[in-house]
């Protein structure tokens, strides 16, 4: 079982020795959600936790059941020192690519923080690059580092809430259940009714449906 690292453990054991540990008082964890969805924005979150007020139970949002994830979400937004969201909408995704969208969402989330961090810890092995703030990437950081786990939860719940809202506007696609991801039902409905404006038209399944529709015209 993976042990979640506290802020102190991260500073002592994980951060490169070339960085001065004493500088890091405000540590922001960053993660995103929705990259694999066929619909909507990529959403990233940045969270700065209180160093002396830990939140127990933080982990990779995908390993948590819905109720626990939602309870942690409420705890984070109530008790974190600062948190924020960064969006990259479907138009921007289709204009560039999903990797660039992911990195841009992370950068926006950090820039939207009400408190400027001293250090940024990023889930995964790619960073958007921050010129004024030191940063480090961590594979599976959402399961290892508390602040990244918190960001994972904020991003996931926000993404799911957006899909529930979209489901009320377009109930035929099952967004409340599939969260915009490729399922048999989603693909069937997509082929039957065609994409909506929120679908990512640069993604292969959507692109193929559009191509099939155009052939029939």
- Averaged pLDDT, 2-24: 47
Question: Residues forming the annotated binding site?
Answer: 31-32
C-alpha to C-alpha distance for 160 and 69, rounded to whole angstroms: 11
Strand order in 27-33's β-sheet? 82-88, 42-48, 27-33, 119-123, 135-138
Q: Is the pLDDT of residue 38 over 50?
A: yes
- Predicted confidence at residue 107, as pLDDT, reads 96
Q: For 100-140, write each residue's pLDDT tens digit.
A: 999 999 999 999 999 999 999 999 999 888 888 999 999 98
- Predicted confidence at residue 1, as pLDDT, reads 37
All domains of the chain in start order, with CATH: 7-167 (3.30.420.10), 173-216 (no CATH)
The torsion angles phi and psi of 105, rounded to 5 degrees, stand at -60, -40
Question: Residues forming the annotated binding site for a divalent metal cation?
Answer: 31-32
Q: Is the pLDDT of residue 5 over 70?
A: no
Three-class secondary structure of residue 199 per DSSP: strand
Highest mean pLDDT among 3-7, 89-93, 138-142: 89-93
Q: Is the pLDDT of residue 15 over 80?
A: no
Distance of CA 175 to the CA centre of its chain: 18
Q: Is the pLDDT of residue 171 over 80?
A: yes
C-alpha to C-alpha distance for 183 and 21, rounded to whole angstroms: 46
Q: Mean of the per-residue pLDDT values for the chain?
A: 88
Percent of the chain with pLDDT over 70: 89
Q: Is the pLDDT of residue 16 over 60?
A: no
- Predicted confidence at residue 4, as pLDDT, reads 53
pLDDT band, very low/low/confident/very high, at 144 (cuts 50, 70, 90): confident
On the CB side of 39, how many CA atoms lie within 13 Å of its CA?
Answer: 27
Provide the 10 A C-beta neighbour count for residue 80: 22
């Amino acid at each position: 079982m993976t042990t979640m690292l506290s802020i102190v453990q991260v500073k002592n054991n994980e951060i490169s020795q070339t960085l001065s540990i004493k500088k890091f008082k405000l540590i922001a964890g960053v993660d995103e959600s929705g990259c694999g969805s066929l619909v909507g924005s990529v959403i990233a979150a940045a969270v700065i936790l209180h160093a002396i007020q830990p939140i127990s139970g933080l982990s990779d949002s995908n390993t948590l059941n819905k109720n626990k994830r939602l309870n942690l979400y409420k705890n984070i937004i109530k008790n974190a020192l600062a948190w924020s969201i960064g969006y990259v909408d479907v138009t921007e995704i289709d204009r560039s690519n999903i990797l660039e969208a992911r990195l841009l969402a992370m950068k926006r989330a950090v820039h939207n923080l009400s408190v400027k961090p001293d250090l940024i810890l990023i889930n995964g092995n790619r960073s958007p690059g921050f010129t004024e703030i030191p940063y480090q990437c961590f594979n599976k950081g959402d399961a290892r580092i508390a602040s990244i786990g918190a960001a994972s939860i904020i991003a996931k719940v926000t993404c799911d809430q957006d899909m529930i809202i979209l489901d009320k506007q377009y109930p035929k696609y099952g967004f409340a259940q599939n969260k915009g991801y490729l399922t048999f039902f989603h693909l069937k409905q997509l082929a039957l009714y065609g994409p909506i404006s929120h679908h990512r038209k640069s993604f292969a399944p959507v692109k193929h449906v559009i191509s099939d529709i155009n052939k029939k015209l």
